[in-house]
Structure 1
Amino acid sequence: MAADEQRPRVAVLGVGLIGVDLADRVHQSRKLELALVAGRDRDSLGLRRAAEAGHPTTAGGIRAVAEAGPFDVVFDATNADSHAEHWVALRPTGTTLIDLTPTGLGTVIVPGVNSHRSAAYRHVNLVSCGGQAAIPVLYAISQSCTPTYIEVVSTGASASAGRATRLNLDQYIATTTAAIRTLTGTRNVKVMVNISPARPAPLFRVAMTVLADSIRPAQVRTGIAAAAHAVRAYTPGFTVTSLAVAPGRISAVVEVAASGGRLPRHAGSVDIINAAAVLLAEQSAAACR
């Protein structure tokens, strides 16, 4: 059997900014085979770009993916309202569905926090771009103290927030809040999202405030540094730009600059969630061998 045939077959469902970038990443991966990119409108810009890049494409949406399968992995890069239907269609096929929409369905996975468990699940939820940026830092903090309140404010450039992102803001907030509660053990969590029309477009930025008793500054700083190092292994543009540790309060800010590919630097929100998705797919492939 040829080397390419041994790689897990992957389909990308959705051809917005996230889906097209995902297709490029899978195509470049030495561990995955891009078998299909599916949209619903044959005249859409994203589907045309995928075809121009030489990727196999279809305008048949989820029906075409189900009929062309089974696939080892399907990335859902569409919208939260459609994801449940997609899982119903793909579940009988035995595929692993990695959800990049903020539905809150499936098992929440964040690299570096609980990604060692990802291969055990066939329905994986990547929370949101803000969740992927914030949770590694918040989890590190929760390992050295017990937060009583967590606040997260994500700010992304308007140019990198597509139609599905704007339609799914309520789900984004609810899903991110629930994931932070689950992975940090903190009940009192507040999540906010800003879409900035500023020019030049700002980098993706996530500001976090944590209230806690018995904060140990040295352990907090060491834990956050280790978390940031781990994230940079798959998202090189991830940077902790501000960290203040005071009695009862921790304030941290991270920024994510997209690096490489067709993404502009300000699209760090797309970069971090897509990098996490491909990493998990590659890890799942390795675990199944």
Structure 2
Amino acid sequence: MVGIDPQSEGLERARNHGVATTDDGIDGFQCMSVYPEVRIVFDATSAYAHKKHDEVLQRDGKRVVDLTPAAIGPFTVPAVNMTHHGGATNVNMVTCGGQATIPMVAAVSQVARVPYAEIVASVSSRSAGPGTRANIDEFTRTTARAIEVVGGAEKGKAIIILNPAEPPMMMRDTVFTLSEGADED
């Protein structure tokens, strides 16, 4: 497990479970004895950092699962298009809101034309880490584009709401589609 904060609870938890860790980012990762054995890397940093990470990891022959809104690789929403990108060396998992809602948009677009689809993702402020907070604009742009590319809407829109409620709320998503041509029966 790789991080950049020596005081990270996640890195400490991983160390306590015997997982090799570094708090020196991608540079520290490359110096780890396990680095040559790693074949797949899950990058949950930020859209900005992912661009650098992908260059390094691609050069070293690693497959990358992008958990940021960087969207370097093809959008992948397993419930909709899991088998479409098996050969890709970088796949983008869109966003949490996209994973939760795009399958609904895709289902509607299978039976009707969808000129417009909109999703609203409401998440607990506590669950939104620094990467999410730093990437709000990227979240909305990436999710909106994936609503179009994967979901099949002609125009997509995404809204994220960070809810500070205590106790923290569970993530809630709303999907709205403007559809034409489906038989209502």
TM-score, length basis structure 2 = 0.92
2:179 alignment counterpart: 212
Cα contact 2:116–2:179 (8 A) shared by 1 = yes
Could you report, residue by residue, the CA deviation over 1:194-226 in whole angstroms, capped at 9, with x for unpaired residues?
0111123221111011111122346xxxxxxxx
Cα contact 1:75–1:98 (8 A) shared by 2 = yes
Deviation at 1:143, TM superposition (A): 0.3
The question of 1:85 aligning with 2:65 is answered no
Hey, which bits of structure 1, 4+ residues long, moved more than 3 A? none
1:162 alignment counterpart: 129
Deviation at 1:124, TM superposition (A): 0.6
Cα contact 2:147–2:157 (8 A) shared by 1 = no
Could you report, residue by residue, the CA deviation over 1:96-137 in whole angstroms, capped at 9, with x for unpaired residues?
100001112111111121111232111110000000001111
1:66 alignment counterpart: 30
1:41 alignment counterpart: 5
Separation in 2 of the partners of 1:47 and 1:184? 35
The question of 1:202 aligning with 2:169 is answered yes
Separation in 2 of the partners of 1:178 and 1:206? 17
Cα contact 1:95–1:122 (8 A) shared by 2 = yes
Could you report, residue by residue, the CA deviation over 1:71-109 in whole angstroms, capped at 9, with x for unpaired residues?
210000111110000011111111110000111211111
1:185 alignment counterpart: 152
Q: Secondary structure at the match of 2:107?
A: helix
The question of 1:139 aligning with 2:109 is answered no
Separation in 1 of the partners of 2:167 and 2:183? 38
Cα contact 1:70–1:93 (8 A) shared by 2 = no
AA matched with 2:87: A
Identity of aligned residues (%): 36
Q: Secondary structure at the match of 1:175?
A: helix
AA matched with 2:9: L
Cα contact 1:66–1:93 (8 A) shared by 2 = no
1:57 alignment counterpart: 21
TM-score, length basis structure 1 = 0.60
AA matched with 1:147: V
Deviation at 1:171, TM superposition (A): 0.3
Gaps of 5+ in 2: none
